Chain A
Amino acid sequence: MNDTASPLLVADHVVSGYGAVHILKGVSISVSAGEVVTIIGPNGAGKSTLLRAILGLLPVFGGSVKFEGIDITALSTEQRILGGIGFVPQTSNVFPSLTVRENLEMGGYTIEENLEDRVSWVLELFPVLEARLGERAGRLSGGQRQMVAIGRALMLEPSMMVLDEPSASLSPQMSETVFDRIQEINRLGTAVLLVEQDARHALAISHRGYVLAGGENRLEGPAADLLDREDVRKLYLGG
């Protein structure tokens, strides 16, 4: 779908994990500018581990991670975030004792000017948050928290958003809203890398997809093709 687009993120044969345990055993993925890419796979496949390795939250024992052509494997998480990668973790993705406004401000902590403009832009994307700006994020519903989390990650205008199971624990209606917003963010020019349990829904809004299992690449291709594959449907899409 984006054959001519330049590669934004290239994770090449990444080996990573916790301590001596290598969860990823040489996983490779790429995300091009303007793409939505989804990673699916069974529990324990290494999907979230891959995202954490890309963000520098886990050490990379082998392989490399390049972003916008620069090797970021040795950079700190803060440097990667400031370099243009936004991340929305699956859990603990807001500052609970801070208000919604403060959460957004923290997302733009390094912005010297036009912070208010960025907050306004996020509120245009998530208008439901406007009435709750002064409320503690810890008191919001799961869906609203997710919106705050995505909004926070958008404050630095990242070139690529990485989302770890954004629809987890959300009602179907709220889940639909979140997927709509992800598409909206992508339409505005931000590439999206997604790990999602609701694989059918995620692939439906994606350009390409990867299937991981046992810490290794199993399949990759256009999202529509993966959705059509009998084996993928059977194993990961609930038949």
Chain B
Amino acid sequence: MQSIATQRGRNRLTQTFSRASSPAWLSWLLVVVLVLTVGWLAISYPTQFLTGLIVGSLYAIAALGLTMIYSITKVPHFAHGDAMMLSAFVTFFALTGVVLGSSRGDVQFRFSTNQLPGASETIWKFSFGYGFLLAMLVSAVVATVLFLAINRYVYRPLQIRGAGVALIAVASLGVAIAMRGFILMIWGASPRGYSTGVRQTVDFWRFPRIVADQIFILIVAATLAAVVSWYLYRTRSGKAMRAMSDNADLARLSGIVVAEVNRLTWKIGGVLIVVAGSLLALQAQLSADLGFVLLLPIFASAILGGVGSPHGALVGGLIVGVVSEVTVGMGIVEPGYKIAVAFAVMIVVIIFRPWGIFGVKV
């Protein structure tokens, strides 16, 4: 009798705790507030809203890779911003063949994707031709190999020796510094850009005028988000990734070969970071120190959306991007402080939902 009573008491306690820790109404309230806010911002500040969407979609792609890498491989990848910048520079190199020469002037290699026949002829109203797309492909291969190598020779050995998250985080900071140093050594400190051509704009009815390249960014970001989402939720290896994210030990106990899933995650993370970095370079100048600046909003996006949640990373990225731009447009903050507002939003959200908007409290 006593054990039954104890069991009942335990069950009641569990139910009470579950109710207290999972306020579904709060999630819905957050969603309603978000939707209303987004609608109002889009109508009141259309230009800044659009810019925020574009910047946010880049954060979202990078945050998607970051959250996957952290939740699946358990590596807090502080080198993600610098990896984004390095991959953008590799795309730049593949596209132009330009590196810094020994006399501090630029040297151009004979082969680059833009020198292929017709490669620099612009597609539609974009500022680039197919040479840019080929360069991204080259960069994706390089980034994938690089990520696999870093995991194999830096993070994995540490994990095997029982290093905790903090130590691995410090190691990833070391990787970030090494990447930054490599960029400075090969391409120097001067800003670099992909396009020298005219950026054409496109008019859509009553919407603000938009640069054609930005349409490309939005389409690629949306497509990539949909493909990754489909992959994670519809394919066997994608489901295994989500299983690993939930519980790596249990995944191992289910016969999932954890090392294979880890490698797959790094490969996908590599492709995502190349796309994010290369698209960013379509509308911004590249520089070695931009990587660290990017790291903060990327982390904020992943945390805001819910670490481990792919959809959360996407929504988090868009929120961070839009909030950063719109608050400047509203005159609330100076452009130099715009990322602070995004962090303030992140802090407010995680006070109420420490697991983020789409994160799951188990």
A interface list, Cβ under 8 A from B: 55, 57, 77-78, 81-82, 87, 89, 92-98, 102, 105-107, 109-110, 136, 138, 142, 152-153, 155-156, 169-172
* Inter-subunit contact B257/A78 (CB<8 Å): yes
Number of A-B contacts (CB under 8 A): 81
Cα A81 to Cα B254 in complex, Å, equals 7
* Inter-subunit contact A106/B247 (CB<8 Å): no
Q: B360 at interface (Cβ–Cβ under 8 A)?
A: yes
Q: B189 at interface (Cβ–Cβ under 8 A)?
A: no
Q: B250 at interface (Cβ–Cβ under 8 A)?
A: yes
User: A193 to chain B: closest CB distance in Å?
Assistant: 14
In the complex with contacts A77-B253, A78-B256, A95-B247, A172-B10 CB distance below 8 A? no
Residues on B with beta carbons closer than 8 Å to the beta carbon of A81: 252-255
In the complex with contacts A95-B247, A105-B239, A172-B253 CB distance below 8 A? no
User: A87 to chain B: closest CB distance in Å?
Assistant: 5
Residues on B with beta carbons closer than 8 Å to the beta carbon of A152: 254
* Inter-subunit contact B249/A172 (CB<8 Å): no
B interface list, Cβ under 8 A from A: 4, 7-8, 10-11, 14, 236, 239-240, 242-243, 245-247, 249-258, 360, 362
* Inter-subunit contact B240/A106 (CB<8 Å): yes
Residues on B with beta carbons closer than 8 Å to the beta carbon of A102: 239, 242-243
Residues on B with beta carbons closer than 8 Å to the beta carbon of A96: 246-247, 360, 362
In the complex with contacts A77-B252, A106-B256, A97-B239 CB distance below 8 A? no
Cβ contact of B236, chosen from A95, A105, A107, A136, cutoff 8 A: A105
Cα A156 to Cα B247 in complex, Å, equals 19
* Inter-subunit contact A98/B11 (CB<8 Å): no
Cα A96 to Cα B255 in complex, Å, equals 18
Cα A105 to Cα B242 in complex, Å, equals 12
User: B236 to chain A: closest CB distance in Å?
Assistant: 7
- Provide a sorted-by-A list of 21 A–B residue pairs whose CB atoms are within 8 angstroms: A57-B249, A57-B253, A77-B252, A81-B254, A89-B253, A92-B247, A92-B249, A93-B250, A95-B247, A96-B246, A96-B247, A98-B243, A106-B239, A106-B243, A109-B236, A109-B254, A109-B255, A110-B255, A169-B7, A169-B10, A170-B7
User: B344 to chain A: closest CB distance in Å?
Assistant: 28
Cα A152 to Cα B252 in complex, Å, equals 12
* Inter-subunit contact A109/B256 (CB<8 Å): yes
Cα A78 to Cα B8 in complex, Å, equals 37
Closest residue on chain A to residue B260 by CB atoms: A78
Residues on B with beta carbons closer than 8 Å to the beta carbon of A89: 249-250, 253
* Inter-subunit contact B253/A95 (CB<8 Å): no
Would you list the 4 A-B pairs with minimal beta carbon distance, nearest first? A95-B246, A81-B255, A96-B362, A95-B243
In the complex with contacts A98-B246, A109-B254, A171-B362 CB distance below 8 A? no
* Inter-subunit contact A78/B255 (CB<8 Å): yes
Residues on A with beta carbons closer than 8 Å to the beta carbon of B362: 96-97, 138
Residues on A with beta carbons closer than 8 Å to the beta carbon of B243: 95, 98, 102, 106
Residues on A with beta carbons closer than 8 Å to the beta carbon of B236: 105, 109
* Inter-subunit contact B255/A82 (CB<8 Å): yes
Cα A97 to Cα B243 in complex, Å, equals 8
* Inter-subunit contact B246/A97 (CB<8 Å): yes
In the complex with contacts A57-B249, A95-B247, A107-B254 CB distance below 8 A? yes
Cα A153 to Cα B252 in complex, Å, equals 12
Most buried by A among B236, B247, B254, B257: B254
Residues on A with beta carbons closer than 8 Å to the beta carbon of B242: 95, 97-98, 102
Residues on A with beta carbons closer than 8 Å to the beta carbon of B11: 142, 171
Cα A93 to Cα B249 in complex, Å, equals 9
User: B164 to chain A: closest CB distance in Å?
Assistant: 14
Most buried by A among B242, B245, B255: B255
Residues on A with beta carbons closer than 8 Å to the beta carbon of B255: 78, 81-82, 107, 109-110, 156
User: B72 to chain A: closest CB distance in Å?
Assistant: 12
Residues on A with beta carbons closer than 8 Å to the beta carbon of B240: 106, 109
Cα A142 to Cα B257 in complex, Å, equals 27
Q: Apart from A78-B258, A96-B246, A107-B255, what are 20 other A-B pairs with CB-CB below 8 Å?
A: A77-B253, A78-B257, A81-B252, A89-B250, A95-B250, A96-B360, A98-B243, A102-B239, A102-B243, A105-B236, A106-B239, A106-B251, A109-B236, A109-B254, A138-B362, A156-B255, A169-B10, A169-B14, A171-B7, A171-B8
